[in-house]
Structure 1
Amino acid sequence: MSKFAGKHFAILGAGRSGLGAARLARLHGAEVTVMDEGAPEKIKSALDKQHAEGFRTLSGQAAKDLVVNPGDYDLVILSPGLDAGWPFPKKFTDAGVPLTGEMEFAFNLTDMELVGITGTNGKSTCTELIAHLFNACGKKSVPCGNHGMSLSEVVSSGVPYDVLSLEISSFQLETIQNYRAKASLWLNFAPDHLDRYPGMEEYYAAKARIFENVTGQDVAIVRAGETVDTGKAKKMTFSAYGAEADWTYQGGRIHAHPDGVVFDVKSTLRGRHNMENVMAAMMACQVHGLSLKDMRAALNGYEAPAHRCELVRVLNGREFINDSKATNLHALEACIGAMERPIVLIVGGKEKGLDYTPLRASLNGQVRAMVCIGEIAGALKATFQDLLPCQTAVDMADAVQQAAQISKPGDSIILSPGTSSFDMYTGYAQRGEAFRSAVQSLN
């Protein structure tokens, strides 16, 4: 008999995570209704996908007006973009309906091994690199979770992966109960998502739950100097910035200290922050049985992911670099610190409640001009115009034109926004493509 036969589940959020959860719930016999408060005309594409697979949906005002009575639903499954404390999910929990997150729901329905990756920055790069290393070394893997396919999509597909490379956001960790992994990665922690959390302590506490259920047989891989409780797991550390650690990086070489192994890094990944991603990824894969020799070979020819310190073009002696994935201050600072040329910086986007004044100390004279875009363009200009030339632009094409005009041969013109893109774009990828297109249009 199917696990959830005769059960009725409400799935909140009609996007990719919601669709994956709907598929997985139906696969196990549940009747599902997918609900989203978004206006139907604004989420038409998502609703069309749900309808194409035969799922019942409730959207817009109909979802907002829904009255939930005790016994109406057996479970409510939350997409990670929604907060369990918001009024819509609370309709269900106030009526006594158990709530779980999409990732937790999928975790409880699979026995596939996985590596869990969290951190404020570098998660996607590290997640992709781990999957690449596994696949290149003979273990079938896929990057998923908060990056690429949702965990529910992967589990419902029926594909038997050897190890999953699972990027996990703080939002997904808010609703875990049983989740754990053999190798858990804590890449870094910095201010972010203060539009979602009351303060840093709440954001930190959500992320730290990645270690909540670990056992003595598990491994916690943590950036040296980070203060986080790793529970019962064996702790291993890495650093590319001179700190004492189990793995370190210096002068283009990685030192794997417990094994006494030293090797050159041959990869298209740029900057020390990416060398930390390489070390963390290799340490996680080693926990799952991959050899250093095989992983070194797999790193050769690895292409850096799009929108992450990605070289788009060299024109008139200027590098144009797309770092649209830098959606917070820490990522922006990491990008600046990884570069060797003078920088003309394109920065700005959605107002997320972040304080940009700490960036003043990170410019180091290397950023010699700024072009500010988006909701926070005016505020950024006011923050930095006493330090260096600052201009505002109406859109990406205008920003690229202005940056090109004020730059000099030998400069790097970098889109590294330091905030989210949703004021102007559907996500960082669309923003990065707009930058690419504007750069390619330059004469």
Structure 2
Amino acid sequence: MNKGRYENQNIAVLGAGLSGNAAALLLRSEGAQVTVLDSAEEKKLLKSTLDNLRAHDVRVIWGAAADEHSAAYHMAILSPGIDPDSRLARNFFARGIEIISELELGWRSCEIPVIAVTGTNGKTTTTELLAEMLNACGQRTIACGNIGKPLSEVAREKQPFDVLTVEVSSFQLESIHTFHPSVSLWLNFAPDHLDRYRSVSDYRAAKLRIFENQTETDVAVVNAMEKLPAIRPRTVTFSAYVNQADFRLSQGAIVYHDEPVLRLADAKLRGLHNIENFMATLAAGVARGLSLREMVPPLCAYEPRPHRCEFVREVGGVGYINDSKATNLDAVDKALRAQDKPVILIAGGKNKGFSFDPLRSLVKEKVRSTILIGEMAESISRSWNGAVECEIANSLANAVERAHADARPGEVVLFSPGTSSFDMFKSYGDRGDQFRALVRALPQTDK
């Protein structure tokens, strides 16, 4: 093995998932002795991941032994899926061992400028949109970080990119030290992840760290509706709702300093939330020195991604929409506001520690009936009692069956859960795939 910056250092990686695996392999390539620890039992860890780690001489410790492990380490890498308040992480914090995030590790091994994208909703769409646009305009990049390849994997592969387009979550930003994007994007903020954070302010504070190491020569692209603390980078603002912004909406087009840039009718993405994603992407492109003229064609050609207000099919005059990516209330709010027909709403999932009360008035306005699933079904029913008819289904299949029986021609069945999937599914993707399959299996009958 070639000598590297971590030669002969003993380093722990907390978490044996995708990010932990990427961190471990990067550290090994840089000469470290690596131990991966995970509180889960071995049977719950991916065999292929464990085999790959062992093939690279990485020691793996799991279960209770991981939580109680007391060996000395130079440093520990915290995977985003490991709560800093978990027993595993507290064991390292209590011993004064330096702990950094996998994002920070990847950043320290990169010599390529970074564009970082955060926000409660729209991160993935904007990151992919921005990467496609940059590549189309001749700036070689990859969408990575919280989607696709972890930053540590990109750093290890050392491909000749001009810039990295990195989606960053609050979990990844919690333990940064020097992470320094030249361009940062703050799309929006809404309460979420209260199963991990003690308060909304703690969640917000974690996300705000995206600006922490930026300087006056950097750029922050921020939503004009957001009230942010004073930050050092130069700001470029956008909004589909107010006129006091650099990028704004006027007469069916995105305008920049009063110059029309992109006609909404020319784009395939729909909804005000996606218009703001376009604006943020254009602003980042301007920060990278691109012309407005060259950026517009790839943005207009961008195809909507699965599980994001994805139209599945029409059955008996009823449209079925898969919005499984909606894992918080703000996402459901945007999905409902995008509908211009009466809605049969399927919602619910894992209990993340928040109430669905804030959606009550919008649901009363937009939704004819709801079918609720998962751990939060009873809680949501209480929140919306008296505002809309609520039924509780014992499975997603049962929910789709009930929606099919209840929906009338000219209505929409919207699957927008509003919370995460892990009570019943492997991921939001698995949840959306199952919804899509159930809808496609419905008989095509007239009502």
Letter in 2 for 1:261: P
Letter in 1 for 2:436: R
Q: Is the 8 A contact 1:346 1:417 kept in 2?
A: yes
Letter in 2 for 1:62: A
- Quote the residue 1:216 is aligned against: 216
Q: Is the 8 A contact 1:224 1:243 kept in 2?
A: no
Match of residue 32, structure 1, among 30, 34, 59: 34
Matches within 5 A, 1:136-155: 136-155=136-155
Q: Is the 8 A contact 2:114 2:163 kept in 1?
A: yes
Helix, strand or coil at the partner of 2:42: coil
CA–CA separation in structure 2 for the residues paired with 1:83 and 1:158: 29
Matches within 5 A, 1:15-414: 15-45=17-47, 46-68=49-71, 72-257=72-257, 260-265=259-264, 266-363=266-363, 365-414=365-414
CA–CA separation in structure 1 for the residues paired with 2:276 and 2:19: 29
Gaps of 5+ in 1: none
Once the two structures are TM-superposed, the CA of residue 54 in structure 1 deviates from its matched residue by 4.1
Helix, strand or coil at the partner of 1:63: helix
Letter in 2 for 1:392: I
Once the two structures are superposed, residues 327-354 of structure 1 have per-residue CA deviations (whole angstroms, 9 ceiling, x without a partner) of 0011110111122121111100000111
Q: Is the 8 A contact 1:270 1:309 kept in 2?
A: no
Helix, strand or coil at the partner of 1:214: coil
CA–CA separation in structure 2 for the residues paired with 1:28 and 1:360: 53
Q: What is the TM-score with the length of structure 2 in the denominator?
A: 0.95
Once the two structures are TM-superposed, the CA of residue 315 in structure 1 deviates from its matched residue by 1.8
Gaps of 5+ in 2: none
Helix, strand or coil at the partner of 1:225: coil
Once the two structures are TM-superposed, the CA of residue 67 in structure 1 deviates from its matched residue by 2.3
Q: What is the TM-score with the length of structure 1 in the denominator?
A: 0.96
Letter in 2 for 1:33: T
CA–CA separation in structure 1 for the residues paired with 2:440 and 2:332: 23
Distance 1:348 1:48, change over 3 A: farther
Letter in 2 for 1:175: S
Once the two structures are TM-superposed, the CA of residue 262 in structure 1 deviates from its matched residue by 3.6
CA–CA separation in structure 1 for the residues paired with 2:288 and 2:28: 32
Letter in 2 for 1:438: L
Helix, strand or coil at the partner of 1:83: coil
CA–CA separation in structure 2 for the residues paired with 1:197 and 1:92: 19
Once the two structures are superposed, residues 154-175 of structure 1 have per-residue CA deviations (whole angstroms, 9 ceiling, x without a partner) of 1112212111111111111111
Once the two structures are superposed, residues 3-40 of structure 1 have per-residue CA deviations (whole angstroms, 9 ceiling, x without a partner) of 11111111010000001101111111111111101011
1:429 aligns with 2:432: no
Distance 1:190 1:243, change over 3 A: farther
Helix, strand or coil at the partner of 2:165: strand
Once the two structures are superposed, residues 302-323 of structure 1 have per-residue CA deviations (whole angstroms, 9 ceiling, x without a partner) of 1111111111112221111111
Cα RMSD for the two superposed structures = 1.5
Matched residue count: 439
Q: Is the 8 A contact 1:211 1:229 kept in 2?
A: no
CA–CA separation in structure 2 for the residues paired with 1:50 and 1:394: 40
CA–CA separation in structure 2 for the residues paired with 1:44 and 1:3: 29
Distance 1:113 1:230, change over 3 A: farther
